[in-house]
Structure 1
Amino acid sequence: MQASQTPECPPGLGCDFIPAAYALTDPDDPTSYGNYNPAHRPDDGQQIRYLVIHDTESDYAGALAAFQDPREQATAHYLVRAGDGHVTQLVHTSDIAWHAGNKTVNMHSVGIEHEGFALPTDRPTWYSEQLYQSSAALVRYLADRFGVPLDRQHVIGHDDVPGPTQDAIADMHWDPGTFWDWAHYFDLLHAPLDAGSDTPPRPGDTVTIAPPFDTANEPPVSGVSARPENFVYLRTRPAPDAPLINSATTRADDWSDKASTGARYVVADQQGDWTAIWYDGQRCWFANPNGRAAHTDRRTGAAGPTTVLAPHPGAATIPVYGRAYPEAAAYTPYPAIKPLPVVALRATVPAGQAYLAVAATPEQADYFYDQNINGDAPDDRTLVVGHDTYYPIRFNHRLAFLKATDVQATTQ
């Protein structure tokens, strides 16, 4: 595969192409291959909607070696080196790299690995300015090419990718970590996170999480000394001594109690210096004195039009999904393809809550079937598209999906 080895990069950015593995791990089993799926995105119907930011948890050479081993069953489209910002392309953007741990996201994204570590204990930071600069240049190019909005709903971290099933949630990754400087990164993208207003929000408003990435925002993180972080902790009530939500911890890899910079949520309540948002099916509180931790998306032009989703009238709760697969009937024209189950997560959205839609209109459920390494199995390399449609939402720290038939959508 990988017929062309010309890197897809913006002019002036130093790039090369070193192919990731596309090979069998068992010579007697044509299904036992890695590390990506040949496709023809977006011309084959698989629109690219997300650009996913990763870190390698290794040095550049180690990551490159791993992506050239089909037994790893993983690769990204690009790898950015820390020391000089050099970019290596591994997989064509038309193909589906195995990088996110969620097939719906893999089908509709480009993955970018960054040499670095999410939680180095021997230094206050890792990610170099050269790395940020090169990555931002690459993301601007990709966003322009594929029409991906430059916001935190579409330029996401691996830690924003939902677990596709309930059993998979515990093993989802949390990179690039709590000290990736999202605000600086979006400045480099020439798409600064909108300042909005420091006016206290009202229930029903939306807010953008925006703590300063400096000594004014150093929430405690287990195992490391105080340093700027890219999140705010969420609590069960509006008080600094209130428990963290979900009985969570201050560990960096415990994403269940954190709202990160650039993420947007619907406001549930406001009391004094504390703001509550709908998050993970709960009313969750964070300290927001004078709008220092989150900006109210209320002034003219702030964040643009917003689609807010609530359970359809009459529903006590609605299900939340970790992937957007088609209904069983969509597979009927393809007898060799066994329908994938459409199973919700345990989480639900209760009546009275509201969540921000990532896309203004729902997207069709789909699934790319890819069986043999040579694409020669019956119905191989087929895109199954369903009649069901889903809205991607910001549900907690991660994205999720709601069926369009379950919700009432309101545009603000």
Structure 2
Amino acid sequence: MKNWATLEADENRLMNKHYSAGRSGRKINKVIIHHNAGNLTIKSIWDVWQTRQASAHYQVDSNGRIGQLVWDRDTAWHAGNWDANTTSIGIEHADISSKPWRISEACLDNGAHLVAAICHYYKLGRPVWAKNVFGHKHFSSTECPASLAGSQHAAYMARAQYWYDRMSGTKPAPTPPAKPTPPAPKPSANIDALADAVIRGEYGNGEERKRRLGANYAAVQKRVNEKLGIS
């Protein structure tokens, strides 16, 4: 990507058909991610779409290079759903294997960075799955985006959020530290003296006695019972 802040791709190879000019007055409110079902490049996916009625706004190659094929202001034919098409940016990702489907680390990182950049540029907020980032399968009967909704999903979304936080200059709220567990009182060596104090009524009864004696409760109560002849 030449410029993440302005969404300037490494290469512009714009479609001459199989997209719709404009967005029918709709606003962009989400990103929809796809996989190529093959290790395609910016040029080869452009070639595929010359004979197939489909397109997407961006292609992320396996080496991480990003191409723009449809301007953001126009509607790409990628989701199989007109409402989703007019309100989304579609991103394709090249696969490096098919059994199972998997994308490269470079493709994952730059694809996630692109999601973050789009969310930042269009003020969509921090990338959140099924809120402002979706898989193709949310809108059509398909397994696309394959690993990006499966084995590589968590890593992809974590990177998207990481890059968004970097771009926006914000940090997610830290997880509050766990409250330290107070140390258990050390058992007293003078159980006999504590038992005498309990018998004198100095430690109350029931829950109050348990609370005040803490870790010594069981041993002291046993000694109290012995002193009182209670079996």
- Shorter-chain TM-score range: 0.5 to 0.7
1:55 and 1:194 mapped to 2: Cα distance? 32
Q: Alpha-carbon deviation of 1:47?
A: 1.0
User: Within the alignment, does 1:80 sit opposite 2:57 as a pair?
Assistant: no
User: Within the alignment, does 1:155 sit opposite 2:138 as a pair?
Assistant: no
- SS at 1:173 equivalent: coil
Q: Alpha-carbon deviation of 1:114?
A: 0.5
Partner of 1:48 in structure 2?
28
Partner of 2:15 in structure 1?
20
Partner of 2:146 in structure 1?
177
The change in CA–CA distance for 1:50 and 1:98 in structure 2 (over 3 A counts) is same
Q: Alpha-carbon deviation of 1:190?
A: 2.4
Q: Alpha-carbon deviation of 1:64?
A: 2.7
Post-superposition Cα deviations, 1:15-45, rounded to whole Å, max 9, x if no partner, equal 11001132xxxxxxxxxxxx10011x5xx63
Larger-gyration structure (1/2): 2
Post-superposition Cα deviations, 1:77-120, rounded to whole Å, max 9, x if no partner, equal 000001x1000100000000000100010010000001117x82
1:194 and 1:158 mapped to 2: Cα distance? 30
* Higher-RCO chain (CA-CA 8 Å, sequence separation at least 6): 2
- Counterparts in 2 of 1:367-378, with a 5 A limit? none
Partner of 1:320 in structure 2?
none
Partner of 1:139 in structure 2?
115
Partner of 1:235 in structure 2?
none
The change in CA–CA distance for 1:15 and 1:52 in structure 2 (over 3 A counts) is same
1:76 and 1:109 mapped to 2: Cα distance? 10
2:87 and 2:9 mapped to 1: Cα distance? 26
- Paired residues of 1:76 and 1:97 also in contact (CA < 8 A): yes
- SS at 1:53 equivalent: strand
Partner of 2:20 in structure 1?
37
Q: Alpha-carbon deviation of 1:126?
A: 2.2
Structure 1 unaligned blocks of 5 or more: 1-6, 23-34, 164-171, 197-412
The one-letter code of the counterpart of 2:54 is: A
- Paired residues of 2:56 and 2:92 also in contact (CA < 8 A): yes
The change in CA–CA distance for 1:8 and 1:74 in structure 2 (over 3 A counts) is farther
- SS at 1:111 equivalent: strand
* TM-score, length basis structure 2: 0.61
1:116 and 1:64 mapped to 2: Cα distance? 16
Q: Alpha-carbon deviation of 1:8?
A: 7.6
Post-superposition Cα deviations, 1:196-228, rounded to whole Å, max 9, x if no partner, equal 9xxxxxxxxxxxxxxxxxxxxxxxxxxxxxxxx
More helix as a share of residues: 2
Tell me the matched-pair count. Answer: 161
The change in CA–CA distance for 1:8 and 1:48 in structure 2 (over 3 A counts) is farther
1:12 and 1:45 mapped to 2: Cα distance? 21
- SS at 1:60 equivalent: coil
The one-letter code of the counterpart of 1:127 is: I
1:115 and 1:47 mapped to 2: Cα distance? 27
1:74 and 1:148 mapped to 2: Cα distance? 25
- Counterparts in 2 of 1:289-304, with a 5 A limit? none
- Paired residues of 1:10 and 1:138 also in contact (CA < 8 A): no
The one-letter code of the counterpart of 1:54 is: H
2:73 and 2:8 mapped to 1: Cα distance? 20
CA RMSD of superposed structures (Å): 3.1
* TM-score, length basis structure 1: 0.35
- Paired residues of 2:7 and 2:118 also in contact (CA < 8 A): no
User: Within the alignment, does 1:63 sit opposite 2:34 as a pair?
Assistant: no
- Paired residues of 1:13 and 1:137 also in contact (CA < 8 A): no
